């Protein structure tokens, strides 16, 4: 039996047993899950192995790449900049970045950009790791791109490109011209004491990093029964937006060089504890970090989507201000005010302001579920069942964990 470490608050014991079941019944290799409820940590568990061959144990401070779950952390960084009056969600991006107006992009608003409505899913030049390290050169390249559809008329998942645009928008609006990774480190990681990084510090030892069991063609075949048919068709079409939007097809998140650069859409490294803690700040209204009520109202407002079908995936989804939102086809949280971000392979994290919950699940065995990976979903459901069993008005002050 795989050893599980960490603790749960009284009344959350079933989350531990569910986490244990993931190793015994669902083939988990290494993983962690954390939850903060009403501002208190109630779940902090980890177990299994951070390496695939040597069997090194997953430890309390093991960091793992969470892929697109990084998008939510980047969106929270931008939300803080918004709270400070650095930009307006409904203003044109070109107001802050004049060169962006090229090739039909003059009227694209920040809201449309962060809602995956800008049509900027493609890059017409080869991107290398060296080029991604030159943010000025990358900004000039981004500014020259042409939308793949009329901005604001449809939405489609900007898998990696949204992070590049977030990066440059932050550099343009932040008074100190910081990157997203720098901003997050100085305004979130240090004040909140959370272990999450967009671009690894050079002195971070490799012994703290989990290795991913990445997606393979053989495992993809095994996953076909759970993959939406429309997505299968789009992946098989060489000229589909889905295939062409994979602008970094050879990106290897087990290669330290891919983790050292900043990819605000996809290479964040952290613990479940750090991610859940950050979302918990927002679940409590964001005041601890300086989020204003106006920004929170914007984040939790229903997404403005006339057509839920994602033009890239071919499946319904709902995005707003950089976050995935609940909808009829994607359910999480206790109301439509929840917001978060899933990552390729199965990681997921979100804030539920109505339940006052911040939740995160991370792992190193990547699977193929578009949403509701059974490992994550079972843990999320267990947390909500534990919350539902608590008497109304109960205080977690004496029942939380350290």
372-382: average pLDDT: 97
Question: What phi, psi does 211 have (nearest 5°)?
Answer: -100, 135
Cβ neighbours, 10 Å, residue 161: 22
229-247: average pLDDT: 68
298-303: average pLDDT: 95
Give the integer Cα–Cα distance in Å for 107 and 210: 42
CA proximity to 275, closest of 217, 340, 219: 340
What DSSP state is assigned to residue 206?
A: G
Q: What does the pLDDT read at residue 390?
A: 82
**What confidence tier does 329 reach under pLDDT thresholds 50, 70, 90?**
confident
Q: Are 251 and 67 in contact (CB under 8 A)?
A: no
Give the integer Cα–Cα distance in Å for 237 and 221: 16
Q: Give the gyration radius of the chain's Cα atoms.
A: 20
Give the integer Cα–Cα distance in Å for 173 and 38: 33
Cβ neighbours, 10 Å, residue 370: 15
User: For 183-195, what is each residue's pLDDT tens digit?
Assistant: 999 999 999 999 9
Q: Which residues contact 187 (CB under 8 A, 6 or more apart)?
A: 77, 80, 289
Q: Are 206 and 196 in contact (CB under 8 A)?
A: no
234 has pLDDT over 90: no
Give the integer Cα–Cα distance in Å for 74 and 77: 5
Give the integer Cα–Cα distance in Å for 11 and 401: 12
Q: Of 14, 17, 21, 68, which residue is the catalytic one?
A: 68
310 has pLDDT over 50: yes
* Distinct helix (H) and strand (E) counts, the chain: 15, 11
Q: Are 162 and 265 in contact (CB under 8 A)?
A: yes
252-269: average pLDDT: 95
81 has pLDDT over 90: yes
Q: What does the pLDDT read at residue 15?
A: 98
Q: What does the pLDDT read at residue 220?
A: 61
364-386: average pLDDT: 94
Specify the pTM. 0.94
Lowest pLDDT segment from 174-178, 312-316, 381-385: 312-316
**What confidence tier does 371 reach under pLDDT thresholds 50, 70, 90?**
confident
Give the β-pairing of 196-197 and 269-270. Answer: antiparallel
CA proximity to 352, closest of 332, 371, 370, 372: 332
148 has pLDDT over 70: yes
Give the integer Cα–Cα distance in Å for 374 and 149: 34
- Residue with structure tokens 């203003």? 91
Q: Are 60 and 210 in contact (CB under 8 A)?
A: no
Give the integer Cα–Cα distance in Å for 278 and 340: 11
Across the chain, which distance is largest between two alpha carbons, in Å?
58
Q: What does the pLDDT read at residue 239?
A: 75
Beta strand segments in 144-255, E: 196-197
Q: What does the pLDDT read at residue 129?
A: 86
Q: Are 290 and 80 in contact (CB under 8 A)?
A: yes
What DSSP state is assigned to residue 327?
A: B
- Helix (H) / strand (E) element for 349: namely strand 348-352
CA 147 vs CA 123, 159, 243, 375: distances in Å: 10, 15, 16, 37
73 has pLDDT over 60: yes
298-315: average pLDDT: 88
393 has pLDDT over 60: no
Average pLDDT score, the chain: 92
Q: What does the pLDDT read at residue 396?
A: 43
What DSSP state is assigned to residue 25?
A: H
CA proximity to 73, closest of 294, 319, 279, 332: 279
User: For 95-119, what is each residue's pLDDT tens digit?
Assistant: 999 999 999 999 999 999 999 999 9
Q: What does the pLDDT read at residue 399?
A: 63
User: For 200-223, what is each residue's pLDDT tens digit?
Assistant: 999 999 999 999 998 776 666 666
Q: What does the pLDDT read at residue 95?
A: 98
**Does the annotation count 68 as an active-site position?**
yes
Residue 121: Cβ-neighbour burial (10 angstroms; 0-12, 13-18, 19+): buried
260-289: average pLDDT: 98
Q: What does the pLDDT read at residue 227?
A: 66
């Amino acid at each position: 039996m795989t050893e599980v470490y960490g603790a749960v608050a009284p009344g959350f014991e079933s989350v531990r047993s569910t986490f244990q079941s993931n190793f015994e019944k669902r083939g988990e290799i290494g993983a962690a899950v954390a939850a903060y409820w009403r501002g208190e940590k109630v779940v902090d568990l980890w177990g299994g192995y951070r390496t695939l061959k040597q069997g090194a144990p997953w430890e309390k401070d093991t960091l793992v790449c969470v892929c697109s779950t990084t998008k939510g952390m980047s969106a929270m960084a931008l939300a803080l900049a918004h709270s400070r009056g650095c930009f307006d969600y409904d203003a044109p991006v070109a107001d802050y970045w004049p060169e962006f107006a090229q090739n039909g992009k003059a009227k694209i608003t920040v809201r449309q950009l962060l809602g995956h409505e800008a049509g900027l899913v493609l890059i017409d030049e080869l991107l290398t790791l060296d080029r991604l390290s030159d943010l000025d050169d990358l900004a000039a390249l981004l500014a020259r791109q042409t939308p793949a559809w009329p901005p604001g008329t449809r939405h489609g998942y900007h898998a990696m490109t949204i992070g590049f645009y977030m990066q440059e928008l932050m550099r343009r609006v932040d008074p100190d011209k910081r990157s997203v990774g720098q901003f997050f480190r100085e305004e979130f990681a240090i004040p909140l004491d959370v272990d999450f990084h967009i671009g690894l510090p050079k002195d971070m030892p490799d012994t703290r990093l989990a290795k991913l069991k990445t997606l393979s063609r053989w495992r993809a075949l095994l996953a076909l029964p759970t993959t939406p048919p429309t997505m299968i068709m789009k992946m098989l079409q060489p000229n589909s937006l889905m295939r062409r939007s994979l602008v970094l097809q050879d990106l290897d998140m087990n290669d330290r060089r891919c983790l050292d650069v900043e990819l605000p859409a996809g290479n964040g490294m952290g613990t479940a504890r750090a991610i859940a803690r950050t979302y918990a700040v927002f679940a409590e209204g964001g005041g601890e970090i300086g989020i204003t009520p106006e920004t929170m109202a914007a984040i939790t407002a229903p997404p403005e989507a006339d057509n839920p079908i994602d033009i890239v995936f071919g499946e319904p989804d709902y995005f707003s201000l950089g976050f995935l939102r609940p909808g009829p086809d994607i359910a999480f949280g206790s109301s439509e005010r929840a917001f978060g971000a899933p990552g390729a392979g199965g990681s997921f994290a979100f804030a539920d302001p109505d339940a006052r919950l911040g939740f995160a699940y991370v792992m190193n065995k990547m699977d193929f579920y578009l949403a509701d990976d059974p490992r994550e979903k079972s843990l999320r459901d267990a947390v909500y069942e534990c919350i539902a069993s608590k008497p109304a008005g109960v205080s977690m002050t004496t029942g939380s964990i350290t």
